[in-house]
Structures are given as C-alpha cells and as structure tokens.
Amino acid sequence: MNDIVDPQTRSRMMSAIKGKNTNPELAVRRYLHARGFRYRLHRAGLPGKPDLVLPKYRLAIFVHGCFWHRHAGCFYATSPATRKNFWREKLDGNVARDKRQQTALTDAGWRVLVIWECGLKHNSSEASQIDDLIMGEDSWTEWPKKPPKTRPKKT
C-alpha cells in the first residue's frame, strides 16, 4: 500500500512526534502523583534518561509507545509497508538500545518498569497493578503483561 501523503508531508509529520512529555507519559505522571508517589523526570545521570525515576524505590520507569519500541505481540506494533529495510533497522535499533539501557540500569542496582502505551489505552481499569509493581522486588517488569492482540471495539 502506498503512502497517502507526499514524502515531504510525511517527513514533517514524523518529525513532529515528540519523545518527552507525551500523552501516555503525562497520564502516568498524573496517576502516580495522585497516589502520592514522587518522582524525577528524565534523569540525565542514568542510562537511557528514564521517563520517570522514583529514587525512594530505586525504580526507573519507561513509558514506551508500542510502535516505536516494538511491543511484542501488540496490535499497535505494526510495520510500515514502505521503506521496509529502513524501518526494520530503525525499530530494531530502538529495541536493542532499550535492552542495553535497561540492562545497564539493573546492573547499577536500579529496578526497571516498562509501561506500554496500549495498557494505558485499553487496561486503564487495571492500572492499580502499577502500584504493586512499584512496591515489588522484580528487577525488570512490564505492564501490561499481555498486550491486546486486536483493536478493541468502540462502545
């Protein structure tokens, strides 16, 4: 399938996608703050500059978009039909970088929690599980554990 916009428009659209202060990240911030968790943002001294850092719990939180970070088995982790090699290299590079950064954090004694965008879109009623993950002892965990396989029907 061909792109529905010209290359210049697509380039402009893609360059407008931001990496910080995204809507999913802001939703997680509001959720944590409302429950009394205090955090630091994008702490530069840590590998990967985690989106949120809870020093009290020695926890680094990454809020990942399913497309950009290739959430395994998720409906939203589709691959573009055009420029397949470019996108495969780009997205595989993102996954490899994430793994390196998260390994460096756990090696340094930090715990890592990855919150996926699809969980915020479709499992918000189960968000209280995040509290348990923050208080837990796992060195690495993600939420939700199982992504949606298809786009949920709108009601």
List pLDDT tens digits, range 59-80. Answer: 999 999 999 999 999 989 988 8
| Structural element, H or E, at residue 68 | helix 66-69
What is the fold, at CATH topology level, of the domain defined by 18-143?
A: Endonuclease; Chain A (3.40.960)
Reported as a pLDDT band with limits 50, 70 and 90, residue 153 is low
Mean pLDDT estimate for the chain: 89
Domain range annotation of the chain: 18-143
Is 140:106 a contact under the CB 8 Å cutoff?
yes
Query: How would you class 138 by CB atoms within 10 Å of its CB: exposed for 0-12, middle for 13-18, buried for 19 or more?
Result: exposed
Residue by residue, DSSP assigns 33-49 as HHTT---EES-TTSTT-
The mean per-residue pLDDT over the stretch 39-66 comes to 96
Which amino acid is located at 23 in the chain?
A: N
Query: 92-125: per-residue pLDDT in tens?
Result: 999 999 999 999 999 999 999 999 999 998 887 7
Is residue 127 scored above 90 in pLDDT?
A: no
Is residue 1 scored above 60 in pLDDT?
A: no
pTM: 0.86
Task: Give the per-residue pLDDT at 36.
Answer: 96
149 or 27, which is more confident?
27
Name the DSSP class of 59: E
Name the DSSP class of 144: S
Reported as a pLDDT band with limits 50, 70 and 90, residue 152 is low
The answer for residues whose C-beta is within 8 angstroms of residue 14's C-beta and 6 or more apart is none
Query: How would you class 141 by CB atoms within 10 Å of its CB: exposed for 0-12, middle for 13-18, buried for 19 or more?
Result: middle
**What is the Cα–Cα distance from 44 to 62, expressed in whole angstroms?**
14
**What is the Cα–Cα distance from 148 to 155, expressed in whole angstroms?**
16
